[in-house]
Structure 1
Amino acid sequence: MGLSNISKIFPISLDNFFFRIVSQKHEKHILSTEGSRISGGRYNNPGIDGILYLGESKEVCTAEIKRKDPLFSLKYIIGKVEVKLDKVLDLGREENLKILGIKKEDLIKGEKAGEYKVTREIGREAYKKGYEALLVPSITGKGNNLVVFIPNLKEKSERVKLIKTSQVK
Structure 2
Amino acid sequence: MSTNIIRGMDHVGITVSDIDEATRFFADAFGAEVIYDSVAPSDDDVQGEEPEGILNLFPGTKITTVRMMTLKHGPGLELFEMKGPQQSQPVRPSDYGLQHFAVYVDDINDAIRLFERAGGKMFTAPQPLMFPTEVGENNFFCYGRTPWGSVIELISLPAKLPYEDHTSLRRWKP
Q: TM-score range by the shorter chain?
A: under 0.3
Query: What TM-score do you get using the length of structure 1 for normalisation?
Result: 0.26
Task: Kindly indicate whether structure 1 or structure 2 has the higher relative contact order, using CA contacts under 8 Å at least 6 residues apart.
Answer: 1
The higher radius of gyration belongs to 2
Q: Which has the higher helix share?
A: 1
